[in-house]
Amino acid sequence: MKYILPILVAFIAITGCNKKDHFVDNENNVGSSRVTYFAQLTLKGSPYMSVVKGGTFTDPGATATEKGTAINVTTSGTVNTSTPGLYILTYSAVNKDGFAATTTRTVAVLSAHEVPATDISGTYDYVGSSVYEATITKVAEGMYTTDNCWSGATVIPCVFVTLNGTTVSVPNQSTAYGPLNGTGTISPTGLLTYTLNLPSQGVSNSTRKWQKQ
C-alpha cells in the first residue's frame, strides 16, 4: 500500500531551465511529493490461540514487507502459561520513512481442556429487544469472540472462555470503554447471561442477557 507524502520544495529561477524539469513521476515520487510504502504485516497462524495451563505455547510469529521486500518485525508481550487469562502479543514493523504498522494476537490460557464437542457459536438476540443481535464465534479451544457482549445501544466486543458450555469467564481485557471482565452462565435453552464489570465507567456486576436464535 502506498501513500503520498507532501514535501516542501524551494524553487530557484535559472535562466533556460524549464519549471517542469523540477517534477518527476515514478514509483518513488509523484510531482513534488514522495511516495511511501507502509509496512504490510502478516500473522503466521491464527490471531486467536489458546493453551491449557501448564502447557507450552509457541508463538508462530509474523512477517512484514515494504514494497514486497521483507523487513524486520519486533514482538512485544508475553504469555504466562502458569496463569489463566488473556495475553496480547503485538507485532510491529517500521518502514524506511519511520511509519509504524502493528497487528496483534490474543492468546487465552485455559484452566483446563474443554469438554469435547462444546461449541456455543451462533447468533444471539439481546433480551428485551430482538432488533439487536450478536454473533458469537469459536476461535480456538474453549475461546470465543462476540461482536457485542453489552447491549444493543452500547456495542462492546469481547473475548470469553467456556469449557463446558454452561459457565462463562470473561477475562480482564481492554475495550473502548476501559477494562472489562466478568462471568456468566448458559442455560440449556441457550440463554447467555453475562455479569460484567467496567470499572472505569463505575459499572460493576451489570447483568446482560442474550438468547440464542
Domain end among 110, 140, 163: 110
How far is it between the farthest Cα atoms of the chain? 87
Which three cell numbers mark 63?
Answer: 512477517
- Report the pLDDT value the prediction gives residue 33, as an integer from 0 to 100: 57
Q: Are residues 134 and 205 in the same domain?
A: yes
Domains identified in the chain, total number:
3
How confident is the prediction for the chain on average, in pLDDT?
Answer: 88
- Report the pLDDT value the prediction gives residue 129, as an integer from 0 to 100: 83
Give residue for cell 457482549.
149
27-39 pLDDT, tens digit each: 555 544 578 899 9
27-80 pLDDT, tens digit each: 555 544 578 899 999 999 999 999 999 999 999 999 999 999 999 999 999 999
Domain containing 180: what range? 122-212
- Report the pLDDT value the prediction gives residue 153, as an integer from 0 to 100: 84
